[in-house]
Structure 1
């Protein structure tokens, strides 16, 4: 970039790795293909040196490594290194195209940021934050975030990248909504690395929602397609025909396995997008229920569902294909005129997981952004979510009710600061101990080596029990009537003689 008016170009990549290692060359080819596809068709593709590389690449990785590797051994680096190598040596020819800026992890979820070099852009004030979700907040689910200030000449903009992994399983839309609300409440970006977490009234931090900060949140959000039964009047009234729907006489318990079996990956499958998107839970939560991702937008989804695939790269029988992997953005510019999504697609070439990765290529202009709208701040206060804004929140009303009478903004801020400090402090104590316990249990149950240890322990306990049963310590077999080393059982006369003694 040479001028202050240029846009900032981003490549956002989300992949649930399925706890399976991936080769660096495979990752490199897959990510590079997203850049090649984005080039104008009139531009000759004779050399990779002519490619228009993005200014930043952000990777959102979920289930990067097995649970025991992340929680017990802490050796997830061997799973992360291929991704870092793939981007830093993206062309495979000349090095130094991208440099690794920062990595942030929350359990099994990783956020990794790269910057294109050489570049006239400067990056500074890099901050990170994590929120753990899932059982006991151990990081089985969670979110990791990197916030940075990017400058071009005298102009600058702040960008927040979030890698997220929300609660799984069908029918849990409300829980996933609460997951997002927890993320929005608990994220805190400290301005001082040496902040004292025990000081509950510390205020040297920013919140998730902030004036002037563009936010991208991507990853395995786990929202499913909540299809009604194919024979219900709701589908018939809507005129929607489910692909391959069975007859009414079919066994209702086997509907999912029968009508959702599809051929190998063929794109595009417009029947999925056109007929099923109305039942996408994320769309329902954002646009209709209004219970999650307040103020966020998403480009049109034109790719087939990205989950769940079996080993044959077919949609798994018995599971409704869903768009679990998504990319959303929060546009701070007036009228939504800032962030532009140039490409939003899936990447079936990168396999090995039960998910298909997705990516988005976006641009962010270097122009002065706006502030959080009064309507948005009102909604945040309604859901007890603090924000870093100069707007007079106490004057905002919603549905004719003054919000300062329901929840005082100053009380929200104080409460969120206390919650954040306790949450971050716990990461160094109780939660870490619980992670090791869960990692150890998973290692014993799900790995051959762990099964061997578990089996040896069980056999040892059984052997010890049998040994104690055979040789009861401190008990005279003649007094108990037990046979010992071939001696006969104590008779009645023996007992009478013993008693007379």
Structure 2
């Protein structure tokens, strides 16, 4: 084994990816934060699955799966991941999302508070297995797993009452020393309209960042971002360099990991629109480099002040010796979309970007030879039926049961999942794989569904009758796929049994992972979905170039070398045009749909009428 190979094998990345449709509403930080890390492996060994913890075939059910792997934990502590990625759809109403900036900030700040709350609970308590102590009954603590014995008193209470129980944890947040360095830094926030991507990184890992590339594409009307996708690629060194700056050998072993948040077309009969949205993402999501000073700012380095260059835009730094609360807030402030604006020219001079890895292209698509992994998550909106439900179909909706032979078990509905069918047919997400789904549908819950109550404590799910319960919220992983395994182009009806259908299941023997759904939140009819995974870091540029020499394969066999769809040459023009329309619609929505906008519009009208009356009186006199 070469030294390079040894380094790539030894280094790894612990990642936590969560997707959540926020329903255009301010999230409740305590509610989301209490369950945010539910997919982290538990430190204690798991007992043999029983009752609701096991399926009929003896494999682990949802709760057992969440406890079955302890590869990133120790017996004493729950280890927090290196990188936390949040894919957020409908992050805010149209006006705030399209205008962005200070209008969007209150919604993002609620998410940061949820992360802070989750981290504080994990650090202070080292116990995140039960979000609400009152939900765990005496019978459960004695090992009784019977559903009726574990039903909480608050099961049929209102969402407000359930949320009130969580507020008892506020005192624990106060234990956290606000003046200390935070464990996580929100390194970047990007949004395309109502779809946002927030990336948090452990502060002791931030120096591993070699480069950051960003991308966005609008999928809504006229290319606007009411539906869309936003992506970030992180180039990561094998380990944090001692002096904060990697060596040339370190940069030769950079591993590029991509994260994408997406929101596709809705409705049961919108399958073709969703597939077209995927095509537009694969073609229009083009990644370009972050400005050098923005990257230096993220890593706490002094900016390069070059007044002759338009690429050194971000020059904010914390004054030397500053330890005030304002300085700390400025130091930990994430890079916003305007600060992370990509370069506007086709090349980067070595003097302007001495951290740039020459092995990584300045422009790249979703499939790229330099990218080792792509994590793709969001409200993909794929349903379990091609038509809307009839008035009596709600009687067939799944309900909590551990008996897989029961017609009410959710596995029977999962067999009709559109996304699984389309992936096996090779129509969408070619080369991607998904962990086995062991949780109930994530959409659409009615207002009668108790919030913040785990599935094992429920004997009924309250579904909205006018939508088929579906796994709309998904997280998929691309780790280097081959065309030979990407599925045929045959119609879906015949491809499901075709020998060429790809294996779309993430292997458990290759990656230690947990894939689960959080409980229903008080503010949304979607359930958050989380993936906790450990992946080896591996530079892929050399592998992709050496396929024909070392692996006996041609470059055409690798989807990163020969992607299923080519990049759209007009991607920049389309995104710019969509952004201009977003601003126009955002202004109109702000004036017409918000109290502040209504007040501004009314004041403008009154001022205009008053000015006209004054002018007329002056002219008449």
TM-score under structure 2 normalisation?
0.56
SS across alignment from 2:222: helix
What does residue 352 of structure 2 align with? none
Is the contact between residue 28 and residue 86 of structure 1 (CA under 8 Å) also seen in structure 2? yes
How much does 1:197 deviate?
4.9
What does residue 185 of structure 1 align with? 283
What does residue 302 of structure 1 align with? 438
What does residue 22 of structure 1 align with? 27
Is the contact between residue 218 and residue 578 of structure 2 (CA under 8 Å) also seen in structure 1? no
Taking the aligned partners of 2:263 and 2:90, their CA distance within structure 1 comes to 9
How much does 1:34 deviate?
3.4
User: Which structure 2 residues correspond to residues 223-242 of structure 1 after superposition, within 5 A?
Assistant: 223-226=382-385
How much does 1:419 deviate?
1.1
Runs of 5+ consecutive residues of structure 1 not aligned to the other structure: 230-251, 387-415, 459-501
What does residue 172 of structure 1 align with? 270
What does residue 365 of structure 1 align with? 536
Is the contact between residue 12 and residue 537 of structure 2 (CA under 8 Å) also seen in structure 1? yes
Taking the aligned partners of 1:228 and 1:190, their CA distance within structure 2 comes to 39
Is the contact between residue 367 and residue 560 of structure 2 (CA under 8 Å) also seen in structure 1? no
User: Which structure 2 residues correspond to residues 112-131 of structure 1 after superposition, within 5 A?
Assistant: 112-119=198-205, 122-131=208-217
User: Which structure 2 residues correspond to residues 228-307 of structure 1 after superposition, within 5 A?
Assistant: 253-260=390-397, 266=400, 271-288=408-425, 290-307=426-443
SS across alignment from 1:305: coil
Is the contact between residue 347 and residue 356 of structure 1 (CA under 8 Å) also seen in structure 2? yes
Judge which range, 299-308 or 151-160, deviates more. 151-160
Q: 1:41 aligns with which of 45, 48, 63?
A: 45
Whose strand fraction is larger, Structure 1's or Structure 2's? 1
How much does 1:152 deviate?
2.1
SS across alignment from 2:107: helix
How much does 1:169 deviate?
1.1
1:167 and 1:377, CA in 2 relative to 1: closer, same or farther beyond 3 A? same
How much does 1:423 deviate?
2.5
Taking the aligned partners of 1:269 and 1:59, their CA distance within structure 2 comes to 33
How much does 1:327 deviate?
0.3
Q: Structure 1 runs of 4+ off > 6 angstroms?
A: 333-339, 448-458
Please say which structure displays the higher CA radius of gyration: 1
What does residue 363 of structure 2 align with? 205
How much does 1:294 deviate?
0.8
Is the contact between residue 265 and residue 381 of structure 2 (CA under 8 Å) also seen in structure 1? yes
Runs of 5+ consecutive residues of structure 2 not aligned to the other structure: 1-6, 47-69, 121-172, 240-249, 292-310, 312-341, 348-360, 450-461, 486-505, 548-554, 606-621
Taking the aligned partners of 1:281 and 1:274, their CA distance within structure 2 comes to 14
TM-score under structure 1 normalisation?
0.68
Is the contact between residue 17 and residue 64 of structure 1 (CA under 8 Å) also seen in structure 2? yes
What does residue 379 of structure 2 align with? 220
Q: 1:100 aligns with which of 169, 186, 200?
A: 186
Judge which range, 330-339 or 123-132, deviates more. 330-339
Structural RMSD (CA): 3.8
Higher relative contact order at CA 8 Å, sep ≥6: structure 1 or structure 2? 2
Is the contact between residue 38 and residue 343 of structure 1 (CA under 8 Å) also seen in structure 2? no
Q: Is the aligned partner of 1:340 residue 2:511? A: yes
SS across alignment from 1:276: helix
How much does 1:420 deviate?
2.2
Taking the aligned partners of 2:603 and 2:75, their CA distance within structure 1 comes to 55
Taking the aligned partners of 1:316 and 1:379, their CA distance within structure 2 comes to 44
What does residue 465 of structure 1 align with? none
Is the contact between residue 103 and residue 110 of structure 1 (CA under 8 Å) also seen in structure 2? yes
1:38 and 1:349, CA in 2 relative to 1: closer, same or farther beyond 3 A? farther
Taking the aligned partners of 2:105 and 2:572, their CA distance within structure 1 comes to 28
1:273 and 1:434, CA in 2 relative to 1: closer, same or farther beyond 3 A? same
